[in-house]
Amino acid sequence: MSANPEHSPLYATYSRIGLRFERGKGVWLTTEDGRRFMDLSGGIAVNGLGHAHPHLVEALKAQAEKLWHTSNLFEIPGQQRLGERLTAVTFADRVFFTNSGAEALEAAIKTARRYHYVSGRPERYRLITFEGAFHGRTLATIAAGGQGKYLEGFGPKVDGFDQVAFGDMGAVKAALTDETAGILIEPIQGEGGIRSASNEYLRALRAFCDEHGLLMVLDEVQTGMGRTGRLFAHEAAGITPDIMAVAKGIGGGFPLGACLATEEAAKGMTAGTHGTTYGGNPLAMAVGNAVLDVMLAPGFLEHVRDVALVMKQSLASLADRHPGVVQEVRGEGLLLGIKAGIPNSVLAAEMREAGVISALAGDNVVRLLPPLVITADEVREAMERIETAVVAAETKLA
């Protein structure tokens, strides 16, 4: 039975789907009343290792019996360890742990501003951002995202973000002023509808930042942690950022985020400049380290690329056969989108009827974000179910 929203104790901020899940295992979710679904939403790109991954369950249980939380007043060995491991496999030298993506972005924005402040250019506080972006729901990150529907009614927009068209280099150049601190971009816009920045574009932005002393800030909250078949999406472009926000997949379902930076970019973040009570607590670090154990194991990312290829080819064939419903297939790795020829919510509802959970995105896209551990057989089963849904939608169209 679904709760009557009129009598709910909860804020009405979410228009929830009337399903109540009780347990999960790998790609599968089971409702209280025993119905099984294939979860291709992955808790919005969070459950990278699927549900109830044994290594994560073990790590969480073991840490739960030892120590949950101490605050950042003390040293936290798990932070040191996860920090060392993340910096070893990325461009970064420094890490700040948070509980969420928006907080990772807040840390990234503050890091960029402080960098220029301590470099003797305090006037440089503005970031160039992109139309269709999503960076979170805090006051600064809704300003960075720039979407009217998230800004409306929440008072003056936080100053310091100049939005330009995604993919337009001329617009970036035109937006540069003496106050520009850097550029903030998602390599692939997730909420915005699985819109990819080309490798050439990312390289051009990197060169532009270098030319003008700007910081390149990447939001890899959704694209990171193996989602695109590389540990981070920007690796495909052969560039590195100065600052990067990470969350979602890094905790595998435990609330965890991180802001990564080079030594130089992080130089302004000295003692007392920033902080968090929970961020990087021992429980979160135990899970974060366990996630990395799995993701850094040999063959893991290869597996992601292999199954992603199966899925993308299968989706392309579906688009060929049902162009009225599947207009276009987008994305990289297991961050995939179907641009729907019918309302995306209608297609997603048909998919649920066929036992597949997906997520919606902007631009009338249905997002497919399966766990990275999905097998090729599970991909084929999911694709059969998606085809059933597409055919059902088509029949109703006719």
Ligand X SMILES: *Cc1c(COP(=O)(O)O)cnc(C)c1O
Q: Which is nearer to ligand X, 247 or 383 (CB)?
A: 247
Structure tokens at 290: 């366990």
d(CA 386, CA 355): 9
Q: Which is nearer to ligand X, 246 or 342 (CB)?
A: 246
Work out whether 102 is an interface residue with ligand X (CB under 6 A): yes
Choose the binding region for ligand X from 67-75, 85-93, 122-130, 184-192 (rule: CB under 6 A). Answer: 184-192
| Residue owning tokens 């993919």 | 167
195 touches 330 (CB < 8 A): yes
Minimum distance from CB of 84 to ligand X (Å)? 24
305 touches 374 (CB < 8 A): no
Work out whether 106 is an interface residue with ligand X (CB under 6 A): no
Return the residue nearest ligand X (CB atom).
Answer: 101
Choose the binding region for ligand X from 60-68, 94-102, 204-212, 282-290 (rule: CB under 6 A). Answer: 94-102
98 annotated to a ligand binding site: no
Q: At 200, which helix (H) or strand (E)?
A: helix 199-212
Pick the closest to residue 294 from 260, 253, 262 (CA basis): 253
End-to-end CA distance of the chain: 33
Q: Which residue in 51, 110, 114, 135 binds ligand X (CB under 6 A)?
A: 135
Minimum distance from CB of 366 to ligand X (Å)? 16
355 touches 362 (CB < 8 A): no
The CA-atom distances, in angstroms, between 266 and each of 96, 262, 295, 320 are: 10, 6, 26, 48
Minimum distance from CB of 35 to ligand X (Å)? 27
d(CA 290, CA 57): 9
Q: Which residue in 129, 196, 222, 281 binds ligand X (CB under 6 A)?
A: 222
Minimum distance from CB of 63 to ligand X (Å)? 21
Query: Which residues sit in the known binding site for N(2)-acetyl-L-ornithine?
Result: 137, 276
Chain positions contacting ligand X, by CB under 6 A: 100-102, 105, 134-136, 186, 190-191, 219, 221-222, 247-248
